[in-house]
Structure 1
Amino acid sequence: MRFTDWATRVLLISLMFAALIVVLLIGRATKLHNNPITYHTSNPRVTAWSQYPQAQFQSAKSLEKKSQYVLKSPIKINKKPIARFVTTQAFAQYRPNYQVASVDPSNYGERYTQDVNGVTLNNQPIIVLHETGYSASSAINFFQVAHTDESVQASYHALIKLDGTVVYLVPPEKRAFGAANSVFDGSEGVETVQTNPNLPASVNNFAYHASLETPPDSYDSSSQQTHSGYTEAQYNSLAWLIAQSQVPDDRITTHHLVDRSGKKVDPINFDGNKFLDLLNTYRQVRPIYRVNK
């Protein structure tokens, strides 16, 4: 066999292998694209500087003590940073499963820097707690459907399933549509923002919305005003999630408290004291020390 013939055959075989690899990679990418929900038990940790909770993907190999020194945005009094929340060893030891689910773009938007009247917005973040009303899957399915009617568009930033799985839905830097006609009445006074001239003002522009999956005994109830309550895993995962934020306790509220439609009662049977006890287990306040010059 001449050398040129041998070289030609080797080249053709190499091209066939390259083409096969490209086809396999395209097939894998297509499969991932067509699957909107991914399931995980561990992944490299993602840490971001933000006042809102971030998508925290706990690694089974993460160092427990490392979490104690994750500093995020500062707590401010009179606009001067005095302390930060830092996560604890208990936070590092608790590793909930998580899912990432896509949400149709019609069901969330950007956070505005000005309201409908052009007034600059500077609201500090709040966290609003919800419950789904029905199963977690039904809520996720609703969020994944496009809605042209702005009055029915809805979403959360995150959802906690009955088994404690954290479902990340809308990125924290985006505006989830979790509370329509709503107002937060806090230490700074009444806060609400109107971003759409055709809809009532709401807290959505400065809120992070986290929801608990409703227990099944409430699904067929003639009056959805009560149910058996949330699981221990849900309380732990919710506290773990919120511990990643710089939102103080007095700016954590419920859908029922911010609602101005008179129709929202969630989260029903929520044990606020249990939640705050767990939250204070997963994060602590650390003063910021300054050197006087």
Structure 2
Amino acid sequence: MLITTVIILIGGRVQLQTNKQITSDLSSESAAWSPVNVPQQSTEQKEKLQSFSKSSVKITPSPKPKVQLESTNSQGGKSTSIPQYSFQTTQAFKEYRPGYEIALAHPNNYGDRYSTDINGVSVNNQAIIVLHETSGSASSAINTFQAPHEDDSRQVSYHALVKLDGTIVYIVPPEKRAFGAANSVFDGPNGSETVQTNSNLAPSVNNFAYHVSLETPPEGRNEQPTHIGYTDAQYYSLAWLIAQSSVPDERITTHKAVDRSGQKNDPRSFDFDKFFRLLHSFRQPIS
């Protein structure tokens, strides 16, 4: 399960050297799902995914922090303990095989997850999953993520993107921090959760979020509040991807729900009932 940490519009690269970076040891232990674990169809594909999971920016190893199942609220204080969740995938999950691609974001469009905020306060939030939509085509979003952006306020990325045909595009390794939400807060059973990691940017959920986006249908690439919705293939692939995580239903949210700018409304026309039916058919809780 992701404990301390484990999609687009504005994010930021953390530059403060006073923050303690979460080590690769913790990341490999806590990443709930990794592209490497996806069922492979060939040795070549497996090697590509293993290379993807290692193609992240280099970090300086630091002592592995002690992991505790606690969350921190927006004021940095400890809130109630978070229960552990375990799931097992089903036969339906094993029978579904979505296609996939790898399109690694430019290194300055994602970064490391942190174990402390800008004030040196330890943060240990349980992971959330934030759902988005691209607003434009998948290729346009990927081009944006792969373009270098030196300005912190323009650095953007998702961890993964689901195309209209159900193809999953892996963009940022799950143990890394994608820049999927700017000024954002997750309101859940443990109160308001957010982490500020850059004094020049508003607090956000990025440090403990896994960002997944759905490609917007051509008919919906406008500013209307709704559109025709997403394809069945997208719902199946999204549920299949998330079924590999230990993130509980109540910590799966949307960009619109976490946004505090009042400007984000994605994913529009998302059918949560349909999504959760599929998710529950792909994974079941372990007692």
Please state which band the TM-score falls in when normalised by the shorter chain. Answer: 0.7 to 0.9
Please state how far the C-alpha of 1:273 moved relative to its aligned partner.
Answer: 0.7
Q: Aligned partners of 2:81, 2:151: CA distance in 1, in Å? A: 41
Counterpart of 2:243 in structure 1 is 243
1:52 aligns with 2:32: yes
After TM superposition, what 4+ stretches of structure 1 lie above 4 angstroms from structure 2?
Answer: 75-81
Q: Secondary structure at the match of 1:210?
A: strand
Maintained 8 Å contact 2:82/2:126: no
Corresponding residue to 2:94 among 92, 113, 122: 92
Please state how far the C-alpha of 1:87 moved relative to its aligned partner.
Answer: 0.8
Q: Secondary structure at the match of 1:185?
A: strand
1:130 aligns with 2:111: no
Q: Aligned partners of 2:120, 2:167: CA distance in 1, in Å? A: 40
Q: Aligned partners of 1:208, 1:282: CA distance in 2, in Å? A: 19
1:113 aligns with 2:115: yes
1:179 aligns with 2:178: no
1:260 aligns with 2:260: yes
Cα pair distance change 1:109/1:227, threshold 3 Å: same
TM-score, normalization by structure 2: 0.75
TM-score, normalization by structure 1: 0.73
Q: Secondary structure at the match of 2:33?
A: coil
Cα pair distance change 1:60/1:93, threshold 3 Å: farther
Maintained 8 Å contact 1:128/1:253: yes
Please state how far the C-alpha of 1:136 moved relative to its aligned partner.
Answer: 0.2
Q: Aligned partners of 1:79, 1:209: CA distance in 2, in Å? A: 21
Q: Aligned partners of 1:189, 1:226: CA distance in 2, in Å? A: 29
User: Aligned AA for 1:130?
Assistant: H
Please state how far the C-alpha of 1:51 moved relative to its aligned partner.
Answer: 4.8
Please state how far the C-alpha of 1:50 moved relative to its aligned partner.
Answer: 3.8
Consecutive unaligned residues of structure 1, counting only runs of 5 or more, are 1-47, 62-74, 288-293
Q: Secondary structure at the match of 1:278?
A: helix
Maintained 8 Å contact 1:51/1:246: no
* 1:235-271 deviations in Å (ceiling 9; x for gaps): 0000000000000000000000000000000000000
1:274-293 correspondence to structure 2 within 5 Å: 274-287=274-287
Q: CA RMSD in A?
A: 1.8
Structure showing greater radius of gyration is 1
Aligned length: 224
Q: Aligned partners of 1:206, 1:78: CA distance in 2, in Å? A: 16
User: Aligned AA for 2:97?
Assistant: R
Please state how far the C-alpha of 1:102 moved relative to its aligned partner.
Answer: 1.5
Please state how far the C-alpha of 1:57 moved relative to its aligned partner.
Answer: 3.0
Please state how far the C-alpha of 1:84 moved relative to its aligned partner.
Answer: 1.3
Q: Aligned partners of 1:51, 1:117: CA distance in 2, in Å? A: 25
User: Aligned AA for 1:282?
Assistant: F
* 1:107-154 deviations in Å (ceiling 9; x for gaps): 000001100000001100000000000000000000000001111110
Q: Aligned partners of 2:179, 2:186: CA distance in 1, in Å? A: 15
Q: Aligned partners of 1:86, 1:49: CA distance in 2, in Å? A: 18
User: Aligned AA for 2:129?
Assistant: I
Consecutive unaligned residues of structure 2, counting only runs of 5 or more, are 1-27, 43-68, 71-79
Please state how far the C-alpha of 1:89 moved relative to its aligned partner.
Answer: 0.8
Q: Secondary structure at the match of 2:86?
A: strand
Q: Percent identity?
A: 62
Maintained 8 Å contact 2:31/2:174: no
Counterpart of 1:161 in structure 2 is 163
1:32-43 correspondence to structure 2 within 5 Å: none
User: Aligned AA for 1:217?
Assistant: E
User: Aligned AA for 1:227?
Assistant: H
Counterpart of 2:273 in structure 1 is 273
Q: Secondary structure at the match of 1:151?
A: helix
Corresponding residue to 1:207 among 201, 206, 209: 209
